[in-house]
Structure 1
Amino acid sequence: MMVAEALEALWTLLIAGGVWLLLGAALLALTLAVTLLAAVAALRGAWTAAQRLRSPRRRPRPSWALTRRLARRHARTRRTPDYEEAA
């Protein structure tokens, strides 16, 4: 009878230890992911600031204007609505 109780206690301790191990691993993974994201954001911000310090006269372009050629093409093909035709 004592052996059965000892085995049951051991089984309970193993399950509890496994749960603690899984929770600890998940918490560690989450902490590392958040830390990595914060580090990447900080490095990107520092890189952007360094680039702006290097050439402060250059203004950032909109997302659709990756190059000057694309910006010109976009400006040429934009059409304004013709209100007189609609009336």
Structure 2
Amino acid sequence: MMVAEALDALWTLLIAGGIWLLITAAVATLTLTVTTIAAYAALYGLWTACKRRWRPERHPRPSWALRGRTARRYARTRPDYDHAA
């Protein structure tokens, strides 16, 4: 009778320990997954923000054509070929 009760208690403790282990593993997996996704999203956002700030957009026109005043000044001046001779 004492052995049966001890085995029953052992069986109950093993089942409880197994369930606790499964629940702990599931919670740890979800926590690690969510933390990894959040870190990746934060680093990706930081990377794109820094990339936009440090590398300005490329314009299809030359730099002097971006401002009308500079473009007009370049258009008015005649080329000087004295230095090429």
RMSD: 1.5
Cα deviation per residue 1:19-53 (whole Å; 9 max; x = unaligned)? Answer: 00000000000000000000000110010011011
What letter corresponds to residue 6 of structure 1 in structure 2?
Answer: A
1:54, distance to aligned residue in structure 2 (A): 1.1
Gapped regions of structure 2 (runs ≥ 5): 59-85
2: distance between equivalents of 1:14 and 1:34?
30
Q: For the pair shown, which has the larger CA radius of gyration, 1 or 2?
A: 2
What letter corresponds to residue 44 of structure 2 in structure 1?
Answer: R
Matched residue, 2:14: 14
SS of corresponding position for 2:8: helix
Q: TM-score, normalised by structure 2?
A: 0.65
1:57, distance to aligned residue in structure 2 (A): 3.4
Gapped regions of structure 1 (runs ≥ 5): 59-87
2: distance between equivalents of 1:56 and 1:15?
61
What letter corresponds to residue 23 of structure 2 in structure 1?
Answer: L
Task: Provide runs of 4+ in structure 1 moved above 4 Å.
Answer: none
What letter corresponds to residue 2 of structure 1 in structure 2?
Answer: M
Q: TM-score, normalised by structure 1?
A: 0.64
2: distance between equivalents of 1:30 and 1:56?
39
